[in-house]
Structure 1
């Protein structure tokens, strides 16, 4: 089959346009005590999806705000029950936590279904074909390995979850496939540990080496307390720099090992560019007291999206639409409430 030229994704959103959407969403969400947040999510996604272009066509978002609100209310009930039992009975609070953990994989499964079902490209919808049994394996059973192995199994658990997500995704009748191995994820986490842990250790050593000799026992304790505070602050600052780098490496790893039938993807995010965007975004948000947030989000999304290209083998028009079932939004609302990022 003839290979065509790579099709790089384009992102046409602007900070000014999104700021207008963002400020209206924020004000209406505050006025309605959070109820409008579901409609705010739909407006935001519709703008970002329609601004994302691949091979001359844009994506579309079809989410229903009422359905999302119902999902959020259901999730809020679980959180509310836990909050009430926490003050009345530790035992009941523990039972509530167990109940929340028991339904979390189901929420994630429904969220994946909802997000893909409500995304379309060239009139063809995506869908998620994974079953709830595998959701419990990936998000309840395997995570226990991370605990019993003191975190050594985290890359394995992460790889299996990503493989399940991508291998279960469909575009019409076309299947996505994921071929990154467990070893690739261990290399990723090894680099993260080297940069994150090594950098934090150097920062700690540097801060501790700056201290002067204390004059007495009170001066000694005060100095050590000040150094500990500086170490904690440096740790937070270092995390906010290292995390975007991790997401950079993760995006490259995931999309460089993902394909849609015979069509492959490529991601070429660069560390230097990501660091520059991250640092300047943080500084601008601080200097504007948060008003730069929508501009920062557009800048970050533009770089992440435009770093991805499709390497087509033949025509995308050969993909046929598959029958679509209605998918509830319960999981999507819960994923938002619990801040679960399943997009990568």
Structure 2
């Protein structure tokens, strides 16, 4: 197969807008019940528009299974909020229950999302055990808290290694070789940018204070919010490049060349578009972001892609997929 195979994304904002607005109206009209079918329609469209080496991805999710996961999430969150209305002790018990159940939900979500995704007729899969999921999604976060966030890069690296090395395409597992030190380096760069920005904003506040008086406070706060908001896409850029430049599938490697300047500009224009259109630009913003995110990734094939064999098609529960969506647990970063 000749040269790098970059991912292509063929979705258009106008096409997705029609799907998005119908999904939104039907979800509101059915008091949220249609949200599972909305997710199915959205994913089927997005996956079919994602092409690699001349073939598109497919999504085979089941809406009833997704709906069950969302009902579970609603029960958990509702029980948590109601428990605190009775007593702090009941609320704490529900919080501990939620923490104990979350790794199971995330584990199921990972298995479901991969199993119901296919490429060239071969399904993806996730082989991580439930025991390993509890270690990575419960014990490691506790270490992060106990270390006063100092262990965050270590935890982040271990979670990404678990996700990637336990994921497979057919019978072939992915591999991941980014080091803990590489993650610490990215976090230190982020802290350095935050610190440098804070110094510059402080100096600017002092200078503006002499000429603008009390108004300088509001100007400085606005500049500070803008600066720290721009750091989010910068960090996402660094992490995506780090993760995908150290991921491989057998002899085939991946690469990512996302540029932070383009990410920052895309993020700012998307936010402005959404605000100025009172939210109607949202589907266009999603397509723009997804296109840049995906098209920054390329496969570096070491040979033919026809060598992969299908893996075992084990039944997969969707208990977690709807729940992690509702609980806003992002598995991508």
For normalisation by structure 1, the TM-score amounts to: 0.92
Residue equivalent to 1:168: 166
When residues 200 and 338 of structure 1 are mapped into structure 2, their CA distance, relative to the original with a 3 A threshold, is farther
Residue equivalent to 2:298: 309
| C-alpha distance in structure 2 between counterparts of 1:59 and 1:97, whole Å | 38
Residue equivalent to 1:10: 8
| C-alpha distance in structure 1 between counterparts of 2:206 and 2:76, whole Å | 45
Match of 1:250 among 233, 239, 247: 239
| C-alpha distance in structure 2 between counterparts of 1:292 and 1:143, whole Å | 36
| C-alpha distance in structure 2 between counterparts of 1:61 and 1:100, whole Å | 29
Q: Which runs of 5+ in 2 are unaligned?
A: none
Deviating more after overlay: 80-89 vs 253-262: 80-89
| C-alpha distance in structure 2 between counterparts of 1:240 and 1:52, whole Å | 29
| SS of residue in 2 equivalent to 1:203 | helix
Deviating more after overlay: 267-276 vs 183-192: 267-276
Q: Which runs of 5+ in 1 are unaligned?
A: none
Match of 1:184 among 182, 195, 217: 182
| SS of residue in 1 equivalent to 2:209 | coil
Residue equivalent to 1:55: 53
When residues 305 and 73 of structure 1 are mapped into structure 2, their CA distance, relative to the original with a 3 A threshold, is same
1:96 Cα offset (Å): 0.3
When residues 163 and 84 of structure 1 are mapped into structure 2, their CA distance, relative to the original with a 3 A threshold, is same
1:234 Cα offset (Å): 4.0
| 1:4 and 1:313 in contact (8 A); partners too | no
| SS of residue in 2 equivalent to 1:210 | helix
Matches within 5 A, 1:174-253: 174-212=172-210, 223=214, 232-253=221-242
1:175 Cα offset (Å): 1.0
Task: Check if 1:288 corresponds to 2:277.
Answer: yes
| C-alpha distance in structure 1 between counterparts of 2:150 and 2:209, whole Å | 35
| C-alpha distance in structure 1 between counterparts of 2:111 and 2:121, whole Å | 18
Residue equivalent to 1:77: 75
| SS of residue in 1 equivalent to 2:279 | coil
Match of 2:86 among 67, 85, 88: 88
Q: CA RMSD in A?
A: 1.8
Matches within 5 A, 1:137-156: 137-156=135-154
| C-alpha distance in structure 2 between counterparts of 1:135 and 1:305, whole Å | 27
1:233 Cα offset (Å): 4.4
| C-alpha distance in structure 1 between counterparts of 2:295 and 2:117, whole Å | 19
| C-alpha distance in structure 2 between counterparts of 1:208 and 1:144, whole Å | 41
Listed one character per residue, the Cα deviations across residues 199-243 of structure 1 (whole Å, up to 9, x for unaligned) are 2342244235422499xxxx9xxx4xx766655544433332111
1:198 Cα offset (Å): 2.3
Task: Check if 1:33 corresponds to 2:27.
Answer: no
| C-alpha distance in structure 1 between counterparts of 2:203 and 2:40, whole Å | 47
Task: Check if 1:320 corresponds to 2:318.
Answer: no
| 1:4 and 1:311 in contact (8 A); partners too | no
| 2:208 and 2:216 in contact (8 A); partners too | no
Residue equivalent to 1:270: 259
Residue equivalent to 1:22: 20
Number of residues paired by the alignment? 333
1:197 Cα offset (Å): 3.4
